[in-house]
Every structure is written in C-alpha cells, then in structure tokens.
Amino acid sequence: MHYFDYAASAPPFPQALQEFDRISAEHFANPSSTHQPGTAAQDALQHAKDTFCQICHAASARLILTSSGTEANNLVIRGVMEKYPHGRLLLATDAHASAWFAKDFYNKRVDVVPLEKNGRLYPEKIRKAIHKKTVLFSAVHVCNEIGTIHDIAAYAKICHDHGILFHCDGVQAVGHIPVDFEQNGPDFYTFSAHKFGGVRGIGGVLAKSLDFLPQMLGGGQEHAMRAGTENLAGLAAATKALGLSSSTLPEEAGRLHQLTQLFLKKLAESCDDYLLNSTDAGLPGLVALSFPGAIGASLVAEMSMRGFAISAGSACHADQVIPSRVITAIGRSDKQALGTVRISMGRDTTEDATTALAEVLAQVVQRHRLLE
C-alpha cells in the first residue's frame, strides 16, 4: 500500500517507539508518587516537557498534556467559554471539527470569520468580527483540508490589542513547519503527536495563560487543569519524534515541494479537468483537488483497492455525503466539493510512488465520470 494520508496520521518514527518502550519499562511509577521511583518519573516527565517546549521556542509556556489534539482543543474552548458564561467565541471558518463543534454547542454565543477565495483569513476581517463580548478567537495554524499556512502572529496581535485570548490549533503545523510559540504569540497552542511521527494517545496545550476551567476533574496534575496520571512514555516518544522531524524541516519541505510538483505535472498529462484547492505557499506535500463529476469518497475507496491510501474532502453522515465547509467556503459549488480528495505526503513518500499515484488517480477519475 502506498500511503498518501500523512495529514491524518503519520507513521511513528522507530526511534520514538523505542523511546516509548524504554520509558514505559524504566519509569512505570506514577509521577505523582513521592517515593523514589515516583520522583524519578516526575523528573523524566519534566525533562520531556522542557525539551518539547525548547524545540517549539516556548520557554514561557506551561505544557498541559491531554490524550489528543481533539481533547486539547476542547479543553481550551470549553474551558474559556465556561469560565466566561456571558462571553462570545470567534471561530475561523476552516477550524477543525474539534473546534467547530462550538458553533452548534454554544450557538448564539459564536461568531464566524469567513475565508477568502484563496483560503486565507484576512486580519482586517478578524478585527471587524470581534464583538464587545468576545473572549476567545480560535483559528488553525495550518488548514488540515487545503494546507493554508495562516499568519497567526498577526492574529495574536489583533486579539491582544482587543484584550481577548487567542487559541491556535497547531495540530497540522507542529513537526511540519517551524513553530515559534514566543514569536507567534498565541495564548494557547494545541498539538497531537501522531501527526508528526509520535504515538497515538498524546496531545497537549502550550499555554501562556491558565484563564480557563479544567474539563477533567480529579487529581491536581497538569497545573490542576487536566486530571489523570500523565502519559509519560507518550510524551517522551512525542519529544523524540518532534526532535527528529524538526531537525530536517528545510530539506524535507523542499523535497515534498518537488514531489508535489511532480504529482501535478504527471496528473495534468492524463487529466486536465480538475480544480486545485491548495497552493505552493501552503503546507509542503499537501494537495487538495476537486474532480467535478466524481464523488471523493468513491475515489478514495477505489484508490485503496488499487493500493493507494488518500482521503476525501467530504464527510459521510447517516449515509449522506456532505460537502466540506472549507471547500465550499473557498468558492467551490457543492457538486465540485463532493468530488474533492486530499493527498498528503511525508518522509517515506518516493518519486516512483508519486508518479504511480498520479497515473492511477487519473484512470480512476475517468472511470468514475463515465459511470455517473
């Protein structure tokens, strides 16, 4: 199987798995325990946190561990909205589902900033959308569907000028582009380790502020903001993976850009009726395409049978295929959006596999159009 779904989950680094096993065996004691094995585990936990923060240039941040990026986003959004029950939330249109839930959950307390046709979020529109009761703005650093890299430093300045908190979902950014927490300036920055070669079950929040309410209650772990025994082995593996992925960012970005250009060149040789939803300035290796006259979910299914793992740009709910709000927000019709697929490359992607992907995808698209 040729894997082209790195944006959903990246294969773990072997070194990260080795670190997970080592820490699990050597530091199985509870970091909250006061005996020697417990204090040794606590020391290892703090060392892993310090190293992770150092890589993200987050010396001033508190690292609050969670079980995933979804929990991290929920912790920040629900925590702030519950602390300020009369406050309002401002959401970016391309927010991940783990933040977008708030639009229905808090309903009349939520405002939305629209995307431009180029997938960007203009600072001036954010400024205009801020309500006098807005307490939190939530946006992604990198859009998981089309790969747009947002100017989060500009967003942070607007938020702080207006005295509101800024939550940045960095799940698609950490380990893939340089992250400088101090310079970019968010109050909360969330991540998920399995996106950059760590193991599943570990995510977290880099937090400048603890101005929110905890959602997991019990012990006093994680600055009393997230109860539960810490996943030390998961964090150690994540820190190892982040160090490995960050050490080769410039070279890997260039390689993935070349693979993207190769893919688009080969695809255009056999298929010219498609819409490109991503740009050269986006996340390296992520390509979002809409094929009018086809259904993305069906393309994904057949590509899988032919040995290629890609993802669709729409979601299935109760046997209904719903077009992506991000793809329609950038100007695609519902029909065009339903024909969207996402290809995302990573460290093990080769030129041969990329060339084969373009050739097979063109064949599959043509067949599906004939069946419509």
CB 236 within 8 A of CB 49: no
- What is the average pLDDT across 316-326? 71
Calculate the average pLDDT of the chain. Answer: 96
Return the structure tokens found at 131. Answer: 């309500």
Domain boundaries, the chain: 14-247, 248-371
Sign, CA torsion 258/259/263/266: positive
* Percent helix, percent strand, percent coil in the chain, to nearest 5: 45, 15, 40
What is the second-level CATH architecture of the domain 14-247? 3-Layer(aba) Sandwich (3.40)
Domain 248-371 coded CATH 3.30.360.10: no
Residue 336 has pLDDT above 60, yes or no: yes
Residue 156 has pLDDT above 60, yes or no: yes
Span 218-260, pLDDT tens digits: 999 999 999 999 999 999 999 999 999 999 999 999 999 999 9
Reported pTM: 0.96
